[in-house]
Every structure is written in structure tokens, then in C-alpha cells.
Structure 1
Amino acid sequence: MESEFVTTPFGRRPMSLAMLLRQRRGEAMEAGTRRNKWKLFRSVCEARAELDVTDRALMVLDALLSFYPEDELSSERGLVVFPSNVQLCLRARGMAAATLRRHLAVLVEAGLISRKDSPNGKRYVRRGREGEIGEAYGFSLAPLLARATEIEAIAARIADDRQLLRGMKERLTICRRDIAKLICAAVEEAIPGDWARLSSTFHALLQSIPRAATLESLSPILEELETIRLGVINTLESPEKHRIASTNESQIERHIQNSNPESISESEPGLETVQEANRDLEPSSRLDRREPGVAGNGSRTTAGTNAGELKSFPLGMVVQACPDIVDYGPGGRIASWRDLMTAAAVVHSMLGASASAYEEAACVMGPQNAAVVMACILQRGGCINSAGGYLRDLTRRAKRGEFALGPMLMALLRTKDRFEVGLEEGCRKVNFGTEPGAPARQNGVR
């Protein structure tokens, strides 16, 4: 049986009050205390950070537990293990002797084991006539068993915090997905609101999410995101927005998806949806829509109509979605629509789009919208083989009323959010805003 006297260290290692208290705590455990050693070891691994032990020290503790002959640690039996350094190094996955001694000291300082040194400093056991253990010298596991309840409580709390953090991350992901898609829907449905500013605030908030997230760091961010989501929903659910949604619903029900493989995109909403929304909002300023494809020299009349119908967006939103265009502006900045159109004139030549293609796009879409399209093409230049062919195709679709800038800009805004799950993922082999799995397009897009 183990000695009840205090064991002082062998050799030149000094005795300290902390060592005395740890030994007394190990001896003061309640009678009948039992724990499965491997379950207790898993709790120690869970609570490793708060116990201030390293993963290598846990490897040494694992090796020490393997020398205990029973699966259950019990205060009624001896808790001293006495392996040699050679055997302990082998059980510790070949750890060097010097490293082993260092991590044994870490376990002692953490109060998980204690030393019970023999008179000569060796580890051994004295047995009785029938083989029972009389006196053992080595490392005592009594401190580990004495702290079993404390360690299990720490491990349970850490597991609960991890579960709460997982749930908070799930709520955060759903919340930011909702906000991104609601803003996109508001822009596509032409609902009045400062969506560019809200989108900028939303993306800035996402950028503040730390890489190593904790409950304390995520909680305020989640509260702000939920506030933004509630504000967007309230805006969309106002009586006027219900009236606009009812008008657009009939248009969506009669929508026939174009399956022509020559088309670049099938997922961008036609101008009919935007036009109906604009008619409801500003009935007096809506331009009469003309039939596309009239006589060849009547292109200027058609162009003027389409330019008036194609929805424009704030310059700040365009620059945020297409930051690469800023490098080509006067003085390396875009401060006005004139600067954007100047940069677009440089970019279309650089990308190989002919002057006639750009002039036609400006006539059909309007100079500002044509410049926005060139900025989008530059931003996604790695996904487009022929900028000129792509620009001409967009121009033809704008003439037919099948092109809108909203999905293109929102797709570029979503790609800037590296934390967004389930939204736009890299460069697609289809046009901006198309659904995953859509067939590949021609006309210069790969």
C-alpha cells in the first residue's frame, strides 16, 4: 500500500509548497472514487486549454495510463505506475528522453500527476509473498483521480460552448444569406431604397468577422446582422411593395425561359419585369416601348427607347462591384460618370472590343450603362474569351428587352464576400447570375 507520508523529490530538485498541496489534494479524495481511465483521459483532452497542458504532455499522460493494469482508476487500489524511461519513451511514440522529462514536469506542474520518488530515485515496486504490491515508487495518478469531477465539469462546459458556437455560426450563415438574397431581390424588382449603402454596410460587417471566431466576438455581429435583416424585410413588406410584387407576379407566371443555346444567359430577368415596376413607381415618366428590330436606320430611335428603359444604378455601387475599373480612370480614380465612361473607352480598346461594338452598345443601352457593362466585363475578364463578341451579344439582348444590369452587378457584389455560402462561387462557365448546371454559352463566353 502507498505511504501516507509526504514524498520529497530525489536529488537536487527542491520541495515547494505547491508540491505539498498537490500531494495532499491527491490523498484527500473521497473514498470509493472510481473513474474509467480512458473516459477521464478524454475529458482531460477536452479541457486541455484550461488545464494548461500541451498535446505532447497529453501523449505522455496517455503512456502513463497505459501502464496502469486496470481500466478503472480506484482510490481503493494503488495508483502509482513505475515504468522506466526507456519503456515510457516507447509508449510515447518514440519521444526523446529529454523531451519526456520536460513533459513529465508539465504534468506535475498542472497537478495531474505527482512524483513518488524512492530512496535512490529509481522507479520500482516491492511485492509481498503472494505477489501483491507492497510499496511502489514512480508517478502517482492520485491527483488526476482526485480532480476527476473538476475536469469533467470543465470538459462539459467547453463542449457546451462549442455547441453554442456551432449554432451561432449556423444562424450567422443563414442570416447573411438572407440579407444578400433579399437585397438582390430588391434591386432586381426595382424597389426604392438605398440598397448600395446597405450592401456596403453589410459587406463591411462581414469583413469584421474574425478567423478564429468565439462566442464573445460573434454575438454582437450576429445581432447587427439580424437587425439589418429585419429592416430589409420590413421595407419589402410595406403596402407599396406588396402592390409592386403583385404586379410583377403575373409577369413571372407567364415567363417563358429561352432555351436557345445562342443566348448567353437564361437567368437574368427580362426588361418586362423592370418596366412594369418602373411603370408602377413613375407612370408619368415611363417611355413608350417600341417594337425591337425595326428598320436598319431606325436604330437610334430604338436605342433611345432601350436606354431609357434599362435601369441604371448608383455609381458607388458600380465601383464597389467592379473595383478594377478604377485603375483606368483619370488619375486612377472614378469620381463621376464622366470618369467611368472615360475609363470604359480605354478598357474596351484594351480588351479587344471594336469601336463599332462599343458605339452600338452605347446607342442601345445608353452611354452610362454601356460603361457599366464594360466595367463588369473587365471585372470578369478571366471568364470571357471574346469581350467584343460578348458585348455585341448583350447589345442584341438589350434590343430585345432581355437584358438587365441588376443580376450582373449583384453577382459581382456577392463574389466579394469570401464567407458567403451557397452564393456565387468563382468564375462560372456561363454568364453572370445564371443558375448552376446551366449549359455552356457561345459568343465568347467560356
Structure 2
Amino acid sequence: MRDQSIQSLAKGPALPDRQANSDTVATLASRQRDGETPHEVRKAVLFKAARDAIYVGKIRGNLKNLLDTLIGHIPNDAPKPICPASAQFLGNKLGCKGRTLRDQIARLGKVGIVENLCLDNGRRYVERDRTGRIIDIAGIDLSPLYDQADELAYEAARKQDAYNDRLQLGRQVSRKRGIVRRMLGADQLPADLATIWAELPRRLGELGIEALKLVVDKVDRIIAAISPDRQINAARPADSGQQYITDQTNSDPCNRAIPAGKKGEPENRQPTKPPTCGLENVGLPQVLRAAPQDWQVEMDLHGQPSWHTFAGVASERAKRLGIDPTAWAIAQGAIGAPGAAVIVMLGDAQSVERGGKVRSVGGWVRRMAERAEGGTAHLNRTLFGLLNKETEPC
């Protein structure tokens, strides 16, 4: 009976009202295809269920060694997941005395993880017939744990999802607080907003998801209430006099929708070789959709978005990220200031701090600037990769 359920689990358990835990089902199915026997699949389910039971708090972590030992000593041909190992063997294996062992097994039984099927005197045994087939077995039965494997996997997945949501919300709060501080500079918040700011909790680690959502909403209200004409100068886009907007002559951008050159530049300037940076058919709305949320917030503060505003925001970001002005100048000289801004945005969006793979944004920007200068940047691939990641289903 149990072997049939093992095979059905390997194919994938039916959970009509929830998504099956992929770490359990998919892995076991692949093992079954690789030739793993049913008893190995059963033990894998039990080991995973034991970890999930600890993770969701059904049992304490100090019982993990006992559970792993019990699971590991279930006979391969046992008709049920029963461990017949003696108390003395388990005590020696775990390095604990008999009374401690009995207490731990009793705690597992109390929470419905195991069932004690030992004889009255606590003896365990395995009886086999002449062919070696088990006809009777007594010991610690782990069938209750096995029967709860799907439910425990579901609860563990829910807890992990909640943890990830809390982590993401906490990062949002931290980033948006930083935006408010950078926008205000040395100035103070107006009285109405200062009250909201003062009520924000400083420690986020102990807050639940709903409480974190309220904090995010309050910070969003503060950001929305602060306009560019109210005490805010720190987040304004950089003008042509700042260090990242260089005075060198710009080449034509690869996207004809991006403004090229500087004002007052002679119209009869000899055209340079058309660059191929991958932005030929990329529009500003696509770039803004791929940008991190705090970039979008800063862009929204300046009304109607434009490539000039985007370049100014990126130049300020480049300073805060510690990007070498030379790298900006190389990129600007190759594909214009808006193109250089796209490179900085892509590097920041893929940084390790945002969950990406770019460990050094400055180094990545320099490499991409050099590739842009050589006509091999292919920025569209990175941009569309970010857009596809944003549209992946949860």
C-alpha cells in the first residue's frame, strides 16, 4: 500500500488547492527516473519532511539528529518505515543516555511525528522468513511523518515565501528612506511629513508583512508629498557643468531617437562610424520599465520623462556608486550621455545588493563603456533580460 503511494509521489502529489513543493516532487521524480529504488525515494521523503518539520517549528532542532538516525536505519525492505534499532544502539550512535533518548522519542510521539511500536519491554526486532523477507517488525514507526510530508512541505514553502516577502519589503523601506534623505539634503521635512517620518520604526527585522506594507505606504506618501519645488534640490538631474557630463564631442548615438551631440555643434560635422550598442530600437519607456524602483521614483519627481532627465539622474547615481568619471566619458563619447546613462542603470540594476550578479558596478560600467566604444556592447540583451525577469509569473 505504501509502495503504491511512493510511486504516486514520484509522479507528483495532487494538491488541488495549492502548488506542490517542487524541491520534493521534482527531485524525487528525477531520482526515480535515474533508477533509484522505492525505499530510497521513501527515505528521501522522510529526510525532507524532517527538515520541514523543524523549519516550520513543529519540532525543535535538537531532535534532528535523532530523526535522521531513525530514518537512516529503516531496513530497505521494510513494509512500513519502521526503525528497529535498539535503544542501546541509538544511544551509542547519538551519544546520549537511555533516559534522554526515551524522552526525545516521547516528544516526537506527542507531536505526532512518530509512533512507538516497540514491545512492552521496549524491545525492537525484525523477523524474516526463510527467503529473507520481513514478516514482522517492531520499533519506532515513522509513518506519521511520511504521511505529513506534503503538508509540511507546503507549510515550509509558505514560510519561505513569507520570509522572502518580508526581506523584499524591508529592502524597499531602506531604499526609499535613502531616497528621502538624498532628496532633502540638509533641509528638514515639513511639519506634517515630519510626524509621519518620526513614527516610522527604525528596526524592521521584527515586523510582519502587513506592518512592513504600512511602512512602505507611509514612505511612499512622504516621497509623493515632496515635489521638486519644495525644499528639494539634491535629486534634480545634473546639468552640463557637472563632472560626469563632459565637454568632449559626442558621437552619434546608435538610437536615432536619442538626442545626439551638444547644443551649438556645427551641423556640417563629419559623421562618425555608426555605433552598434544594441539600443537601436529601444525606447525610453522600455528603459524606465527595466530601471530599479528608486530610479523610477527619482524620474517621476521631474515630471515628463526625457532622455536628458534620465542622463542627469544617472550622472548623480554614478557619483554615489563611485563610478570612475573616465568610464562615463568613454561611454558618452561612444554613444552619447543617454547611452552612458543606460549603462549605469543596467549595472546598478544587476548589482549584488539588488539580488543580481554584478559585484562591482564600477568595473562593469567600465567594461561596457569600452565595449560601447568598440561597437560590441549589445546593451539590448541585458535590458530585455531585465524586462523579461520583471514579467516572469510568481
User: TM-score if structure 2 supplies the norm length?
Assistant: 0.46
Higher relative contact order (CA 8 A, sep 6+): 1
User: TM-score if structure 1 supplies the norm length?
Assistant: 0.41
